[in-house]
Amino acid sequence: TKGYGNRGDLLGVSLTRMVELDVTFVHTTGKTGRSQGAHKEAGKCVRIREGTKRSHHAGTGTTGYSYVTLAHDTFGRLGDEAKDHIRMLADEACGHNSVNRSTFVRNLKSELSVATVKGNALIFQACISQLARKTGKAFQKGATCPHAEVG
């Protein structure tokens, strides 16, 4: 998708800085991933995508915000910028109170993982709905929640 042009996807504020986050996913086993040799070197696709995003957004981000790429591949590997950002958030969250660092990082990664799965499910649902509309003869949108019909 085109995203938001020259702006990242999210603006965030922590105790020490304001960040512009750009979320991106790399399909490691896709055509581009294979052509970049992702199968030969762990994390290569994520590093390439981070560099591409950073060069694309260089000098065009939101004024006053640090730019961070949150890149992950299809198998959940995070890019270096994402890992650094998580470390920074953990330092802030755990440096001033009794929050356990490993618990904080584990929960944050779990939240990112769940958000990724939910986002992918929404995209999949939209694509399947479009496909059904184009290929079917009497398309009717299904229920959003499962239910049992009686009778």
Write the pLDDT tens digit of every residue in 26-54: 877 777 777 777 777 888 888 888 888 88
Q: How many CB atoms lie within 10 A of CB 75?
A: 10
Contact 40, 28 (CB under 8 A): no
| Rounded to 5°, angle at Cα 60 from 54 and 62 | 105
**pTM for the whole thing?**
0.69
C-alpha 3/C-alpha 136 separation (Å) is: 30
pLDDT tens digits for range 65-103: 888 888 888 778 899 999 999 998 898 888 877 788 899
**Over the Cα atoms of the chain, what is R_g?**
19
pLDDT tens digits for range 99-150: 888 998 999 888 888 887 787 778 778 887 777 777 767 666 667 676 666 6
> Using the 8-state DSSP alphabet, how is residue 146 labeled?
-
Cα dihedral value 109, 77, 11, 84, nearest 10: 80
Query: Are β-strands 10-13 and 18-26 bridged in parallel, bridged antiparallel, or unpaired?
Result: antiparallel
pLDDT tens digits for range 8-28: 778 888 878 888 888 888 877
**Would the pLDDT of 2 be above 60?**
no
* pLDDT at residue number 1: 42
